[in-house]
Amino acid sequence: MRRLAVYCGSASPADPRYVELAEDVGAALAQRGIGVVYGGGRLGLMGAVAKGAKAAGGEVIGIIPESLVKAEVANHDCDELIAVSGMHERKQKFTDLSDGFVTLPGGVGTMDELWEAMSWAQLGYHSDPVGLLNAYGFYDHLIAFNTHMAKVGFVRSAHQNILIHATRLPDLLEKMQAYEPHTPIFRMKAEDL
């Protein structure tokens, strides 16, 4: 994995562990020679990921909608800051420039990015690993819900292992490195669906 898209919140929660986690993840990826592709912001967990990666000598590529550049939240310390017209183009760039996805704690925008990465993997738009760092139990309920969707039958058995999760980054990266792409919907026959 040469580069990973890192999805996380643009907010800074009151609990400082989350910002520290994001900075540590950025640094750890840089120390492993993995570039960071992220939302291009300077605030919250986003800014912390970039700060950690840059401080450790890593590559940081920010992808940010033009409207947020105008709102003065862009991180101009990135190695490359790509301004795009909107969120759809932003997510396509994440996919184009990355070899996988890591999701840290975040809110609605982070969930949108995670679910789209999973959906695109399921369909066959990419075959990259989709990782979820479940630090401090933040995603316990989401993992349980994903399992529930599979048990009910809304996630096909071929796609039940798309979401890779762990509580520690080294474990998550190891699982992502070992990920074997599944059969995407685009290559399935009607009787398999």
User: What is the C-alpha separation between 22 and 67, in angstroms, rounded?
Assistant: 24
Q: Domain 3-177: give its CATH architecture.
A: 3-Layer(aba) Sandwich (3.40)
Contact 71, 41 (CB under 8 A): no
The structure's pTM equals: 0.94
3-state secondary structure of 88: helix
Domain boundaries, the chain: 3-177
Q: What is the pLDDT along the chain (193 residues), one digit of tens a residue?
A: 999 999 999 999 999 999 999 999 999 999 999 999 999 999 999 999 999 999 999 999 999 999 998 888 999 999 999 999 999 999 999 999 999 999 999 999 999 999 999 999 999 999 999 999 999 999 999 999 999 999 999 999 889 999 999 999 999 999 999 999 988 888 877 777 7
